[in-house]
Amino acid sequence: GAVVSQHPSWVICKSGTSVKIECRSLDFQATTMFWYRQFPKQSLMLMATSNEGSKATYEQGVEKDKFLINHASLTLSTLTVTSAHPEDSSFYICSASGFGDTQYFGPGTRLTVL
C-alpha cells in the first residue's frame, strides 16, 4: 500500500521557538494532504486540508498564523508551529490522498514544548 512518512517522529523544543513537521508521500502523488492533531486519550481532530499549490483550508478554531501549512509539491506538505507554547504539545498526524482516493496516514509526530 501507499506509504506516508513524517519527520521528525518526536521533537522537543523550547517555548517561543518554531517547529517544522514534514509529511511526505513516498510512492504516490498526493493532491490533498490533511493535518490532524491528537491530545492524549482524545480523538484526532482535523486542523486543515491542503491541496497542492493552493492555500490550506483551516478548520474553525485553528489559528492559521500559528499553524502554517505549505503544500509545495505533490509529495510534500509541511506544518510549522510558530512560537510554540506548552499547550501546543500534542501528537500531529498527517494523511495524504491522491485524486479522491483513500487517505493514507503518516506515523505521526509527537511535539513536546517545554
Partner 1 sequence: SQELEQSPQSLIVQEGKNLTINCTSSKTLYGLYWYKQKYGEGLIFLMMLQKGGEEKSHEKITAKLDEKKQQSSLHITASQPSHAGIYLCGADLMKTSYDKVIFGPGTSLSVIP
Residues that bind partner 1 (CB under 8 A): 32, 34, 36, 38, 40-46, 49, 59, 91, 93, 95, 97, 100, 102-103, 105, 107-108
How far apart are CB 46 and partner 1 at their closest, in Å?
4
Q: Which is nearer to partner 1, 36 or 67 (CB)?
A: 36
Q: How many CA atoms lie within 13 A of 114 on its CB side?
A: 4
Measured in degrees and rounded to the nearest 5, phi and psi for residue 84 equal -65, 145
Measured in degrees and rounded to the nearest 5, phi and psi for residue 58 equal -95, 145
How far apart are CB 98 and partner 1 at their closest, in Å?
10
Sheet of strand 76-81: strand arrangement: 4-7, 19-25, 76-81, 67-73
Q: Which is nearer to partner 1, 65 or 100 (CB)?
A: 100
How far apart are CB 16 and partner 1 at their closest, in Å?
25
